[in-house]
Structure 1
Amino acid sequence: MYKQYSSLINKVVVNRHYKDIGIQKELSTKFNDNGFVTLPGFFPAEIFSGLQDEAQRIAPARVAKNFTMPGYDTPRQLSVISGEQILRSSFFIPSLYINAEVASALSAITGSKLYNVDHKEEFMVINYLESNASTHGWHLDDPRFALVVILDAPECYQGGSLEIIKNWKSYCDENSFDPLFDTNRAVESAREDDLVTKIHHNTGDAYLLNAGDCLHRVTPVQGEAKRTVLNMAFDSRPVVKFGETAEILYGNSTTPKHHKEVQSV
C-alpha cells in the first residue's frame, strides 16, 4: 500500500480552490457564523479515491459498538476504527493528517493556528454506519475542530445527516440545563426554539465543524443505507484535556463499564 499511494502525497493534496485567499475568507465567515462549513471536493479526486480504497481495505479491523453513551445518554450504534489502528494499518491516511497543505487551509478557515491532537485513539478515526438505525448520537468532541470527509453517503431521504446546535454550553447555561446530563431534554428545547441545523452531505464532500462548541449527531440511517466517514481532529490549544468518551467509543473494550444496550428499530 505504501508504494501505491506514496506518489499521491507528493502531489497537490488540497484542492486549489481552497488555497485561494478570497475563498478562505468567505469560508471563515461562514464557519464563524454557522459553526461549520461544507467543503465539497476538499481533496482532489485522486486523493479522495485513495481514501475510499484505504477505508475499504482496512474495514475488517473495525469494531462494532452498540450502547448508550454515559452522561449524554445518547446512542452509539456504529462500527469504528481508532487512530491507533489506522496507524498500524495505513501509511496514506496518517500522511494526510500531518500534511502542511491541510493544516494551512484549515488554519485559514478557523482563523487559528492548529495543532495535531495527541490522543492515540481520537486524533483520527473512521466511522461506519452500516445497518438500519445506525447512528452516532448527540455529543461534543474534546478537540475543538473536526475535518470530516464523507467517503460514502446515503441519499438524503435515507438518513445519515449531520445535525448541530451552535453554542451548546451557552444555550444550556441560559436555559438552566446541564450541558452533559440534560442533553436529551435540552435538545428538545432547542428544537422548539428552532436552533437545530440539519445538513445532508454527499459522497465526496467534507465539512469542518467546531465540534467542541456545537453539539452534534448523525441521524440514523435507514434500511440498507450506509455512511462511512474519516474524521481528523485538530485544536487551537497545544494540549487538550480528554474525558472518557473517546476511550469508551474508540478504545479496546467493546462496551463501556456502565452502559445500556441500544435496541435497533
Structure 2
Amino acid sequence: MKTIAKKTPIIAYEDMHRLKEEFQKNKYVKLPGFFTKDKFQTLFNEAIHLLDTYSKRKDFLMEDTEFTPRKISTVSGNVIFNESSMITELYQEEELIAFLEEISGDKLFPTPDIADRHAIHRLHKKNDIHGGHVDTYPFVLITCLESPGKDGGGELEYVPNSLDIKDLGTDKAVRGYLDQGESYFMRASDSVHRVLPLKKEVNRTVVVFTYADEVSKDIIESYSSNLLYD
C-alpha cells in the first residue's frame, strides 16, 4: 500500500479489482489502515472528546427489528453536525466518497437523516451489544477507534444477502474482527448484521459514516435514529 498524497485523508489500495469483487459477492470489505496515521489520530481525538462530552447511554429493545437489544453509548449525528467541523468535512471528502463509489459501483449521497449520517458508538460494559438489524440507508463505513481485542467480544456478525434476523448465529453468518485503525465498508441494507456482546469491560469504539443511494436519498428519517440517538 502507498499513501495517495499528503493532503488526502485515506490510503491508496493497489488491489481495487479484488475489493470490488469481494464487495459484490459479500456486500462487505475490510479496509486495514483506511485513514492516514495523521488523519486517524485527529479523528480519534475528536471522537473521544465528543464521547466524553455528549454521549448518551442506551439500553432498550428495538421493536422494528424483532425486539433485538441495544446496550450502547452513542453520539448523534446532530451533535457531530453542530460541534465538529472536522468529522462533517471528512464525511464529505471527495477522495473518500469517490473511493467508496468505485468499490460499490453506485453513486453515494449524503444521508438525509443527519442523526444517522455520522455517529459515534461505544460498547464498554460486559454484555453491551448492538443487536441484529438492517439499515435504512445502504452504505456504511465503520472505523475502529478502540478495539476490545480478539478475546473481548464485540465482533461484527453479518449474513451476506439476507434480511432475516434468524440467520444470525447460524452457519450462514460471517464474523469480522476490527483492530484499532481498521475500517470496513458494507452494504448494510442488504445484509442483516449485529455487533456481538462484549465479554468483559473494555471499549469498542467506532465512528460510523452512512451514505444513501439513488433509491434511499429521499428517505427523511431512519427507523432507528430517534431511539438510538435522541
Q: TM-score, normalised by structure 2?
A: 0.91
1:112 aligns with 2:110: no
191, 195, 198: which is aligned to 2:172? Answer: 195
Equivalent residue number for residue 162 of structure 1: 156
Higher Cα Rg, which structure:
1
- Match of residue 133 from structure 1: 127
Is the 2:138–2:213 contact (alpha carbons within 8 Å) kept by the matching residues of 1?
A: yes
- Among 210, 224, 227, the residue aligned to 1:245: 224
Residue number in structure 2 paired with 1:53: 45
CA distance in 1, matches of 2:142, 2:218: 21
Shift of 1:32: 1.0
Structure 2 residue 181 is matched with structure 1 residue 204? yes
Q: Secondary structure at the match of 1:66?
A: strand
Contact between 1:25 and 1:108, CA under 8 Å: does it hold in 2?
no
Structure 1: give runs of 5+ residues left out of the alignment: 1-9, 170-178, 252-265
1:24 aligns with 2:16: yes
One of 29, 45, 53 as aligned partner of 1:37: 29
Greater fraction of residues in strand: 2
Q: 1:63 aligns with which of 39, 56, 59?
A: 56
Aligned-CA RMSD value: 1.5
Secondary structure of 1:222's aligned partner: coil
- Does the 8 Å contact 1:24/1:105 carry over to 2? no
Query: Aligned partners of 1:141, 1:209: CA distance in 2, in Å?
Result: 10
Superimposed CA distance per residue, residues 202-239 of structure 1 (whole angstroms, 9 cap, x where no aligned partner) = 01100001100110100111222110000100122232
Q: 1:13 aligns with which of 9, 13, 33?
A: 9
**1:68: how far off?**
0.8
Q: Secondary structure at the match of 1:121?
A: helix
Which amino acid letter does the alignment assign opposite residue 30 of structure 1?
E
Match of 2:3 in 1: none
CA deviation string 1:51-98 (max 9, x = no partner): 110111111200000011113211100000011101122111111000
Other structure's SS at 2:115 match: coil
Q: Secondary structure at the match of 2:114?
A: coil
Q: How many residues align?
A: 221
Q: Unpaired runs of 5+ in structure 2?
A: 1-5
- Residues 34-56 of structure 1 deviation map (CA, whole Å, 9 limit, x = unaligned): 12000001100000011110111
In the aligned structure 2, how far is the partner of 1:12 from the partner of 1:121?
A: 26
Counterpart of 1:244, as a letter, is: Y
Compare the two structures and name the one with the higher helix fraction.
1
Distance in 2, matches of 1:96 and 1:68, equals: 32
CA deviation after TM superposition for structure 1 residue 243, in Å: 4.5
Identify the residue that residue 91 of structure 2 maps to in structure 1. Answer: 97
Contact between 1:166 and 1:215, CA under 8 Å: does it hold in 2? Answer: yes
